[in-house]
Amino acid sequence: MDNFIEQIAEILEVDTVTTNDVLTEFEAWDSLAVLSIIALADEYYGVTLSAAEVRNAKTVGGVKDIIESKK
């Protein structure tokens, strides 16, 4: 998960993010961002996420924790 923060920053269209950042506070946070995170988890980490799981994660760190728990 070395590149996770950079990958999420790219999806959210910002230069950098931290694990404490709240997903809904980003301008680019929308259904496409949720789908992009689902695709990222599948492609890079071999993990299947639902849209509800991504939305319920609340923070960047929450998404990371869910992915790590499913690996």
Q: For position 38, what pLDDT does the model report?
A: 98
Q: What is the pLDDT of residues 7-45, one digit of tens each?
A: 999 999 999 999 999 999 999 999 999 999 999 999 999
Domain total for the chain?
Answer: 1
Q: What is the pTM of this model?
A: 0.93
- Own/partner pairs for 64-69, CB < 8 Å, 24+ apart? 64/1, 64/4, 64/19, 67/1, 67/4, 67/41, 68/1
pLDDT higher than 80, residue 63? yes
Domain that holds residue 51: 4-70
**Chain-centroid distance, C-alpha 6:** 10
Q: For position 1, what pLDDT does the model report?
A: 72
Torsion angle in degrees (nearest 10) through CA of 52, 56, 61, 66: -50
Q: For position 2, what pLDDT does the model report?
A: 78
Identify the CATH number of the domain in which residue 64 sits. 1.10.1200.10
